[in-house]
Structure 1
Amino acid sequence: MSARALAVFFGALIFIRIAGRRSFGQRSPFDYVVAILLGATLSRVIVGASPAIPTVCASLAIVLIHRVLAWACVRSPKLERFLVGAEREVFKNGKFNDSEMSAALITKTDVFETARQELHTAGLEDVEAAILERNGQVSLLRKSKNPSGA
């Protein structure tokens, strides 16, 4: 089992290189699918639950499908929006956008939590906009400071 684990470890590294940095860098649902499937499939080789060659081939197929779809997303914004999603502006100019929040299944509490964690403030007075990114994180854009100090 140790020898299989060692072989799968280096095989997985090769697969991750084939998949590209995107697979583990952007952390979108599209990328998580590959990571979960790859881990689940390759784990079967380690424990000997499935024949090694067909299972490794299946893992390679998953990685190649991901690579092709990522390539297609670069060329097709519609496909990218479908597979990876789009960012949503959930707060702007002091007002929450209830329809965007409902579509994204995010609450005002989630936005306030991000303000506490990132800006170390309980309110949104200094926030121009809050955007739910494609990876599920909330980004806060601060209001512009007036250069004259007024």
Structure 2
Amino acid sequence: MNHAARRIGRSLALVLPVVLVLSGTLAVTHVPWAPAPADSPVLASSAHKASAPDASTPAGPATHRAPKDVLRDRLIAELQEQDPGVALTSLQRAITRKPSLARHCVSIARALGKAAVHKYGAQRAQRFSRPVCDTSFASGVAQLS
């Protein structure tokens, strides 16, 4: 009995590493490490939507805009249509959905603060301040006060 257990152990010791290496290699090949090709219809469609000219951009050839710029412009428009509180809530949600935008949160919140001062004046704009991106909104308000 001891001999059979030893033989099974040796077989597992030889086969198990091979199985683990092969399964790891197969798992890595299924991860999309490289970006999608430029002629991909999904990429082309999203690039077209992101770069389509609107009322705030001059007409002409479509140019690629960074996601942070698109978000900032959308939030400033939202601030103009509604109020800074709504825009700050949308900023927080956008960063929760797409954490890669978090590094731009300070600059976007500061831009929202400046836009709020232009719309409401410094004293009233300060009332909308929230702890989104620390105190960046308040900092944007203070810069124009």
Same fold (TM over 0.5): no
Higher relative helix content: 2
> Larger RCO: Structure 1 or Structure 2 (Cα < 8 Å, ≥ 6 residues apart)?
1
